[in-house]
Structure 1
């Protein structure tokens, strides 16, 4: 009875301690862990106190969220994977771009914050010409002709200049499609571009591709689908002289923003129901931001943003391979009977899954297989055991 009482007393103490930890909150636990890690690296208890205070001060300050990045802040470790499939369609009209190290890729012409990365998905319609053309010339449109800003540290002015430059690039690409006589004027493409500069994510979208950020397991949409059912787009279309018929722009197109499609657009410098101007969304990445999915509407037609995030998160925990995760998204969309081409890119912002996937692999049971023994072998085994006193 004395032993049982002692066990119950210790159990109650543990439960009380756990309750206190829960009321402390996730953010405080994260801060303490980060400070402790920094202290171990610095090598003294006194340093641990200094680092903890500094980190908490930074987090609790009212500084502008797009001020230059401090050294103690989270810096993304970028890696990605992609997968594309024709799906049930007769022709493949999707294109995509994946550059994990933009600074190295454009070192001769661009000076930008690090890490830096660029991703794009182009979902063509009316033939593959427009999407293929935009992919082929995207680097020139975005980083050469559009006077892309240059800086070593991202801040508010730099990010605003990035948006202006990307907007010019979309409009320039749209006009180039009109002027190129090899491109059919009924061919068009949606376009979604995602850029990372240091801690900052910038997404530009024209059409119904979608970017979704995973933040602590929750889906955060980083773009708005430009479809006629979107109230703001419907209002803009009708104000410019267009109309919506059975969910289609002017009765023929399922999106309200796209590059190309010059058989629908009105002449230059006049209001048009179909435009190529992108909408922008920004995010400051933190330790809570795990990965970004960008994909064409063939994915989003049959699954929610949260469903896609759950698939990728589960895959990363299992094998930590973003390319395999992109493939799993595509296969899930095919299983759900999508009607379109399929393209997905998964961009990871940390290495946190690498240790968990490695541990999962180590914990897998190792099975030993043996053949069944013959009757003679069983008799021999029994006699050996009897001789050794196992009887």
Structure 2
């Protein structure tokens, strides 16, 4: 009895040891794969005036920024203007420059981006003091890629969505007034029928100085919300779009369509065009701007059907069902 027990214990010990080594080797292999992944950055865009009489969107694409030597770098932005296009155009022309010139860049990218948003907002306020015709506002959503690091900054209701092996990963949050009601009311504002102070459909924006005070502040803020990810082989592409797209698309719906398009032609320009065309077909009423950023040279791989959950009856279960049906007939 004692010898038998020792043999069983020994078998269990060595089996556990082999399993632990296998798990450790698999983990090391995954870490190595993550470590050697280098994004192959390429992008495309498409815009359309949509159902509006004036195009107030603006955007920026820099595929080869390289702010840190040989590490791949890129910068993208979508700016959805309102009450005119001047704020969106101003932010497009100045935001990246303020970020790159900030003392925190590139050592602390998060601080540099925050400071860049604030400095751009204040610079636009000064420009509006010199020329009142510039008075307007804009949302601002940017995506920085440095090496494998993706940093998204958002002010407003544009949205960035990452495709991680076909799954939609939201890299931003829509800043709607109803979502930030507590903060707005604490700062003396109110939400009426979904609008900030009954006027604005977003809780954060750059510009709109008629709704706030440069020195005192107010319920409308320009503070960007940051989200970041370390890109791996599973991260396929990023969709950046103004709210005209997301009014008629869910995040996962957009990823599914974009993935299907990229598998057919692997062209981010055509992919962006198809997203815009489908949004128009779904009767979006807003301006449309879409930027698609790919992180691989190849198109997204076909997902194996083996990943799907399969459900089936056992032979015994089928017999029981058949017996039940026979009794009922």
What is the RMSD of the two structures over their aligned residues, measured on CA atoms?
A: 2.2
1:316-358 Cα shifts (integer Å, max 9, x gaps): 00011000000001001100111110000000011231898xx
1:90-130 Cα shifts (integer Å, max 9, x gaps): 11100000111111xxxxxx435611110000000010111
1:225 corresponds in structure 2 to 174
Structure 1 residue 272: Cα displacement: 1.3
Give the distance between the partners of 1:174 and 1:278, measured in 2 at CA: 11
2:121 corresponds in structure 1 to 174
Given that 1:100 and 1:118 are in contact with CA atoms closer than 8 Å, whether structure 2 keeps it comes out as: yes
Give the distance between the partners of 2:248 and 2:124, measured in 1 at CA: 31
1:93 corresponds in structure 2 to 56
1:259 corresponds in structure 2 to 206
**1:345 lines up with 2:294 in the alignment:** no
Structure 1 residues 201 and 331, CA, compared in 2 at 3 Å: closer, same or farther?
A: same
**1:57 lines up with 2:28 in the alignment:** yes
Structure 1 residues 74 and 102, CA, compared in 2 at 3 Å: closer, same or farther?
A: same
Q: Which runs of 5+ in 2 are unaligned?
A: 1-21, 303-329
1:83 match: secondary structure:
strand
Superposed counterparts of 1:261-300, under 5 Å: 261-268=208-215, 270-300=216-246
**1:130 lines up with 2:61 in the alignment:** no
1:11 corresponds in structure 2 to none
Give the distance between the partners of 2:300 and 2:60, measured in 1 at CA: 25
Superposed counterparts of 1:71-220, under 5 Å: 72-103=35-66, 110-111=67-68, 114-144=71-101, 146-150=102-106, 158=107, 161-180=108-127, 181-182=130-131, 184=133, 186-220=135-169
- Tell me the TM-score normalized by structure 2: 0.80
1:27 corresponds in structure 2 to none
Task: Tell me which of the two structures has the higher relative contact order, counting C-alpha pairs closer than 8 angstroms and 6 or more residues apart.
Answer: 2
2:312 corresponds in structure 1 to none
Structure 1 residue 56: Cα displacement: 3.6
- Tell me the TM-score normalized by structure 1: 0.67
Give the distance between the partners of 2:98 and 2:52, measured in 1 at CA: 29
Given that 1:185 and 1:261 are in contact with CA atoms closer than 8 Å, whether structure 2 keeps it comes out as: no
Structure 1 residues 183 and 96, CA, compared in 2 at 3 Å: closer, same or farther?
A: farther
Structure having the higher Rg: 1
Give the distance between the partners of 2:251 and 2:114, measured in 1 at CA: 26
2:209 match: secondary structure:
coil
1:64-106 Cα shifts (integer Å, max 9, x gaps): xxxxx99953111111100111111111100000111111xxx
Structure 1 residues 179 and 72, CA, compared in 2 at 3 Å: closer, same or farther?
A: closer
1:303 corresponds in structure 2 to 249
Runs (4+) off by over 4 Å: 52-55, 69-72
Given that 1:55 and 1:72 are in contact with CA atoms closer than 8 Å, whether structure 2 keeps it comes out as: no
Q: How many residues align?
A: 279
Given that 1:83 and 1:327 are in contact with CA atoms closer than 8 Å, whether structure 2 keeps it comes out as: yes
Structure 1 residue 55: Cα displacement: 7.1
